[in-house]
Amino acid sequence: MSAVSVHQLSQCITCHAWSPDHSMIALCPNNNEVHIYKMSEDKWERAHVLQKHDQIVSGIDWGSTSNKIVTVSHDRNSYVWSLEGSEWVPTLVILRLNRAALCTQWSPQENKFAVGSGAKTVCICYYEQENNWWVSKLIRKRHNSSVTSVSWHPNNILLATTSTDGKCRVFSTFIKGVDKRDSKASSSSEAKFGEQIVQLDLSYSWAFGVKWSPSGNTLAYVGHNSMIYFVDDVGPSPLAQNVALRNLPLRDVLFISEKVVIGVGYDCNPMVFAADESGIWSFVRFLVETKTVSSAPTYGSQFSEAFGKFYGQSKYGASNDGMDNSRQGGVHHNCINCILPLKEPGVASVRRFSTSGLDGKVVIWHLGNQEDLLR
Amino acid sequence: MAGVGEFVEADNAEAIITRIEHKSSKIESLLRQGKHVEALKTALEGSPPNTRDERCKSANWIVVHRALMAIRDLDALFSSLDPEYYDILMKYLYRGLSTGDRPTCDQCLRVHERLTQKAGLGCILRTLTDTVNTV
C-alpha cells in the first residue's frame, strides 16, 4: 500500500490544485465556489472561499512560481486570482466562449494558460502589460467536439488537447511578444499560432486526460473504451501503442518519470503502467492491492446484482458477500477524476502525488517504498 | 498503428463475400470433425469490421453464429482462445443477444459470462463504445 494520507474534504470534488509549497489546497466541492484549505496541526481548516462563478467550477490550476490561481467554470468565464495581503482578488478574463469551459492549465513559464471548452475551441490567454488585462486568443479550427483536457509541452509553445471526438491533437500556441523563437529548436517552433502539428486518431470513443512526459518526447492519453494510448516521438511520424485495460476506463494520467505512468479512473484504484527497455508500454499493477478470489468474479456488490439479473442466477448475490470489501478495501469509493504531482524541488521524478475524486476524498500517495517504479 | 483503416468500397465487398463463403465451407468441415474451437477461431478471423456493407457483415455473422451455436465445451474454448479474439467475440455476442432468438441468446449469455470473467469489463466497454467498427 502506498497511500500516505486520506482526507475527506467534501462530499464530492470536481478538481483540485496545490499551492507552491503544498501547504494549501484549492478545490471545487461540486458547486460554484472554490474552497482553499490550509493544513494546520494535522487538521485541515478552510482558509478562503472564492465565490465569483455562477456555475460549477470545472478547472483549477495554481501557478507554482507566480502563485496565481486560474479557475474556469461552466458559466463560460475564467478568473485569475492573485493573493493581495490575505485576500484573493479576482480578475475576470473574457474568454469569448458560448459554451462551458471544461479544463485549464498554466503553461510551464506561467505567462499563458490554456482553456478547453465545450464550444469546440481552445482559448490561450496571456497577460498584456500595457492594458493590464488578460487577452484570450482562440483556436477555433479542427476540433469536432468538446475539448476535455489540455496539456502543455515543456517548451511552453506546444499544447496537446483531447476531445470527445476521440482525437488527440497537438497545436502550436506561439504568440508574438510573449514567446521567443528558439533558433536551435526543431521545425515545430516555426509554426504559427493555432497551427495543428499532429492529429492522433487512435480512439473511437471520447478521449480524456492527455499528458506529456517530463522531456516532452512522449504523450499519453486515455480513451473511454478502456484503453490507454502512448505516443513516442510526437511529430511527423509518431510511434503509437495501444494498451487495452481489463477494467473500467481511466479519466486522467500522470507521468511519474519518462518510463512510468499512473492512470486513475472509474476503478477507484490508481493503475501503474511502465515501459520496458525496448519502449513497449504495459500495465504493471494496481497501487492498492485488493484480495481477489480467482474463481468468483471480483466485482463489488453493485455489479453482482446486475450480473445476477443478467445471468438469471442467485449465486452471484450470495458469493459476493465476502467480495463487498473489495471496494471498501480500496481507498477511493468513487471515480477518481484528477491526479496531480507533488514535486519536491530538485528531484527529477515524482515521488508523491495526490488524487481527488467524486467521493470527496483527497488522497496523497507516496511511492517511497516501491523501488521498481523509481528508476 | 496510428490512423483509421480505410473503408472497403462496394466492389471489394463481392471479394469479401466470396472469402466468407470459402470460410464457411472450411468451418463446416471442422465442425464435422468435432473441432468446435478451431471452427470458431476461423469464423472470427478476418472479420470485416471496417466495411460499411451490411451484406458482408450479415454474411460473416451467419458464419460466426453457426460456429458459436456448436460450442458445447466452454472450458476448452477459453483455454485455447487467444486474447486478441476477445474483443471481436464480445461484439458478436452482443449481436447475438440483439436477435432475441431464444437458443441464440441462451448460448450467447453462457459464453458472455465466461468471457467477462476472462477478459474483464474493459472488453464490454470496448464493444459498447466502438460505434465505428461494428459487426
Q: Kindly determine whether residue B122 and residue A246, on different chains, have CB atoms separated by under 8 Å.
A: yes
* A199 shares contact with chain B (CB less than 8 Å): no
Identify the pLDDT of residue B36: 84
* A26 shares contact with chain B (CB less than 8 Å): no
Minimal C-alpha gap between A199 and chain B (Å): 9
Mean of pLDDT values over A312-340: 61
A243 and A282 in contact (C-beta within 8 Å)?
yes
* A242 shares contact with chain B (CB less than 8 Å): yes
Residue from A170, A200, A205 to probe the interface with B (highest B Cβ count within 10 Å): A205
* B76 shares contact with chain A (CB less than 8 Å): no
* B2 shares contact with chain A (CB less than 8 Å): yes
Print burial letters for B107-130: b (CB count within 10 Å at least 16), e (below 16): bbeebbbebbeebbbbbbbbbebb
Residues 86-125 of B with CB under 8 A from A: 87, 109, 113, 116-117, 119-123, 125
Q: Which of chain A's residues have a Cβ under 8 Å away from the Cβ of B129?
A: 204-206, 223-225
Angle at the Cα of A319 from the Cα atoms of A316 and A322, rounded to 5 degrees: 130
Q: Kindly determine whether residue A249 and residue B125, on different chains, have CB atoms separated by under 8 Å.
A: yes
Which among A204, A244, A297 is the nearest to B129, CB-wise? A204
Residue A322 has pLDDT above 60, yes or no: no
- For B40, other C-beta atoms within 10 Å of its C-beta total 26
3-class secondary structure, A225: coil
* CA-wise closest residue to B66 among B14, B30, B90, B102: B30
Reported as a single tens digit per residue, the pLDDT across A241-266 is 999 999 999 999 999 999 999 999 99
Q: Kindly determine whether residue B2 and residue A200, on different chains, have CB atoms separated by under 8 Å.
A: yes
Q: Kindly determine whether residue B131 and residue A204, on different chains, have CB atoms separated by under 8 Å.
A: yes
A162 and A120 in contact (C-beta within 8 Å)?
no
Rounded CA separation A245/A267 (Å): 11
Beta-bridge partners for A57: A73
Residue A39 has pLDDT above 70, yes or no: yes
Between A288 and A116, residue with greater pLDDT: A116
3-class secondary structure, A274: strand
**What is the dihedral angle through the alpha carbons of B5, B7, B11, B14, rounded to the nearest 10 degrees?**
70
Nearest CA in chain A to B83: A244
Rounded CA separation A119/A72 (Å): 14
* B25 shares contact with chain A (CB less than 8 Å): no
Whole-angstrom CA distances from A351 to A2, A337, B67, B128 are 11, 20, 52, 36
- What confidence tier does A328 reach under pLDDT thresholds 50, 70, 90? very low
Q: Which of chain A's residues have a Cβ under 8 Å away from the Cβ of B2?
A: 200-202, 231, 238, 240
Which among A201, A246, A249 is the nearest to B4, CB-wise? A201
A246 and B122 in contact (C-beta within 8 Å)?
yes
* B78 shares contact with chain A (CB less than 8 Å): no
E-state strands within A256-290: 260-265, 271-275, 281-286
Reported as a single tens digit per residue, the pLDDT across B119-135 is 999 999 999 998 888 88
* B130 shares contact with chain A (CB less than 8 Å): yes
Minimal C-alpha gap between A154 and chain B (Å): 24
Reported as a single tens digit per residue, the pLDDT across A184-222 is 555 555 678 989 999 998 888 999 999 999 999 999 999
Q: Kindly determine whether residue B120 and residue A247, on different chains, have CB atoms separated by under 8 Å.
A: yes
Residue in the block written with cell 490567454:
A125
- Asked if the interface predicted TM-score (ipTM) of this complex is over 0.90, the answer is no
Reported as a single tens digit per residue, the pLDDT across A158-176 is 999 999 999 999 999 999 8
| Top mean-pLDDT range of A112-116, A323-327, A344-348, B127-131 | A112-116
Q: Kindly determine whether residue A311 and residue B113, on different chains, have CB atoms separated by under 8 Å.
A: yes
Find the helix packing angle between B54-69 and B10-32, rounded to 10°. Answer: 10
Rounded CA separation A14/A360 (Å): 8
Mean of pLDDT values over B59-80: 87
Sorted by where each starts, the structural domains of chain B and their CATH numbers stand as: 9-129 (1.25.40.190)
Q: Kindly determine whether residue B126 and residue A238, on different chains, have CB atoms separated by under 8 Å.
A: no
**What is the dihedral angle through the alpha carbons of A185, A187, A188, A189, rounded to the nearest 10 degrees?**
50
DSSP B25-65: HHHHHHHHTT-HHHHHHHHHTT--TTB--HHHHHHHHHHHH
- Lookup: cell for A304: 453482482
Nearest CA in chain A to B134: A204
Q: Which of chain B's residues have a Cβ under 8 Å away from the Cβ of A240?
A: 1-2
Rounded CA separation A17/A71 (Å): 10
- What confidence tier does B54 reach under pLDDT thresholds 50, 70, 90? confident
